[in-house]
Amino acid sequence: MPLCAAAGAAVLLLKLALPLVPLPAECGVPADVEVAPVYRPVIERLVTRSPTLCAQMRRIAADDRVVLRIVVAHGLRPGACCRASTRFVRRGVRLEANVRLPASAELPELLAHELEHVVEQIEGLDLVRLSRVRDSGVYRIEGNRFETLRAQAAGRAARQELETIAFDARR
């Protein structure tokens, strides 16, 4: 199936699942966030309806050192160890965050999860050091890949926020 057809299906699915219950006007995806045009409305809709995603995007947008790219693709397999991934590249003071997400029903949860990893880097968390500290909420998956309980919680929060909106709209 061509990417455009898959993307269109994902857009339709998310439009049906998320009724119009917007957050304040300052929530949204900044123009300088790189995301394919077909997915920008999908990401925008999620961010404007989830307080978690809104707060994350505002935090990222407030730091002009961050370059955020979001890639959503049908059939994406970021790696055997994970459902989505973020690759960070530091260039001087700039932080490039390349978020890779599958086009799936898990998109809201995975987006919030990966954006929380971006926020962790903005805050300067030393994942290597923290992964060695018992009960720090940080652990090494493999090689230079880490997971945090904080990112997992952010993903669950966004999923629950968006499920609540969809449930309330059906009442």
Q: How confident is the model over 75-86, as a mean pLDDT? A: 71
Report percent pLDDT > 70 for the chain: 77
Nearest to 125 by CA among 133, 117, 113: 117
The pLDDT assigned to 142 comes to 87
- The pTM for the full model equals 0.81
Mean of all residue pLDDT scores within the chain: 82
DSSP 104: S
Is 19's pLDDT higher than 60? no
The pLDDT assigned to 152 comes to 97
Is 140's pLDDT higher than 60? yes
pLDDT-derived band at 18, boundaries 50, 70, 90? very low
Pair of tokens at residue 10: 């994902």
Residue 79 vs residue 137, higher pLDDT: 137
Q: Residue 14: CB partners within 8 Å, gap ≥ 6?
A: 42, 45, 46, 107
- Residue 12 main-chain phi, psi, to 5 deg: -60, -45
